[in-house]
Each structure stands twice: as structure tokens, then as C-alpha cells.
Amino acid sequence: MSASIVISLLIAGLPQASLTYQPSPEQLVVQPTLSVSSKFPGSGLEYFEETLLPFGEVNDGVCPEVPSGLGIPGFRPGVSKSDVLRILGVPNVSASGYWPKTHAASYELIPDQVSLGFLFDRKSDKVRQTEAAFTPTVNFQVIALTLNGMLGCKLNEPIKQGLEQVQQRQSPRYTFTLDSLKGLIERDKRDRIYIGIWERDLH
């Protein structure tokens, strides 16, 4: 299924896994009252890279329920909407989700470099799908650590290799299943590395 993207067109033109929507009267575009960058002082990519730990040190620790603030925050499915808002602030775009009983939100975390998106369950306010898109200027470690967070610190070698193949243009797409999650890593139409992780029963 080809679809347009709910995340304010920031993850444009991706099939199947994209947080999609059909325009409706219920759609609401939120103008941020709090800049996302105010949550992250000096929030260029350099700021996030300075907070990185070596990948091994991250995996050796206990995986937090919500991102620790190290690097680009990677939120896994199951995290509450309130935690996302507490860490990231008001989304750049908020809209009805394509999938029934869902609501979508997106953040241009680092303009023209890193975007994050979420699909929330309307009843529980939990993340059901989490997305990120990175331009080619973002280094591999930043992307891998974000993906690790999106997977609840369960990034394994096959998925890491799949990410590397897409990042190095050896493959246009990599799909996987991990426990109760499904995922997609691919190049989007804007040549960004897109990552989507969702609960298997969502779609």
C-alpha cells in the first residue's frame, strides 16, 4: 500500500510502514508553542553527537523505559505519550492516524537532518509505532543508537547489518521481525534513511 505521510511530510513517500492518514475534518495541525530545540540547547547535530556513549557501553547497561537523553532519543513502542511530550515538547505536527483509533505526531528534531514520528493509541496513549528519518550527513553511530532505543535496547547483529547495508547503499530496504515488533529500514524519496518500528498487530 502506497501512502502519504502523516508526519508533516517529513518522512515522505514511504510504503506500508509509514504513519499514514487520509485528510479528514478531525485533522489538527498544531503550531508549536514550545520550540523542540528549546528542549535541547544548541540542538544541532553536534550537540547530540557530543552526548553519545560508545555503543558497547550503552548495550551493557539496563535499558531505560524512556530515553536517557544520550544522543537522539529513540522511543520504543509501549512508551507513554506523556513521556514523549515531556522529553520532546509540543510536536510540530499533530493529526489523526491512518490506522483506526490512532493519533500521529511528528517532530523536526534537527531541521533538515533528523525527524521523529509517533503513532499513539487513542485509548491508552501508548506509542504503537515509532519512526525516525536521517539525512546522509548523520553518522552511523547516531542512527544505530537511535534504532537501539526504538527497539528497547534489543538491536542485534542482523538488524545492525541491515541498517549498515541501507546506510552504505548496498540495499534499498531491510525488513525484520523482533519479538512482538516489526520493522523497516529504507531510503525514502528524499534520500534519507527511514526507520519504522511498529507492534505486529497494528497493521
Q: What is the pLDDT of residues 98-141, one digit of tens each?
A: 878 899 999 999 888 999 999 999 999 999 999 999 999 999 99
- Calculate what percentage of the chain has a pLDDT beyond 90: 53
| pTM as predicted | 0.75
Q: Which residues face 182 on adjacent strands?
A: 177, 198
As a whole number of angstroms, the distance between CA 202 and CA 153 comes to: 21
Q: What is the mean pLDDT of residues 51-73?
A: 58
From 19-23, 140-144, 179-183, 192-196, the region with the lowest mean pLDDT? 19-23
**Residue 175's pLDDT is what?**
97
Residue 167 phi, psi (nearest 5): -60, -35
Q: DSSP states of 139-174 as a string?
A: -HHHHHHHHHHHTTS---HHHHHHHHHHHTTS-SEE
Q: Is the pLDDT of residue 67 over 80?
A: no
Helices (H), the chain: 45-50, 55-60, 81-88, 140-150, 157-167
**Residue 50's pLDDT is what?**
52
Q: Which residues face 119 on adjacent strands?
A: 104, 129
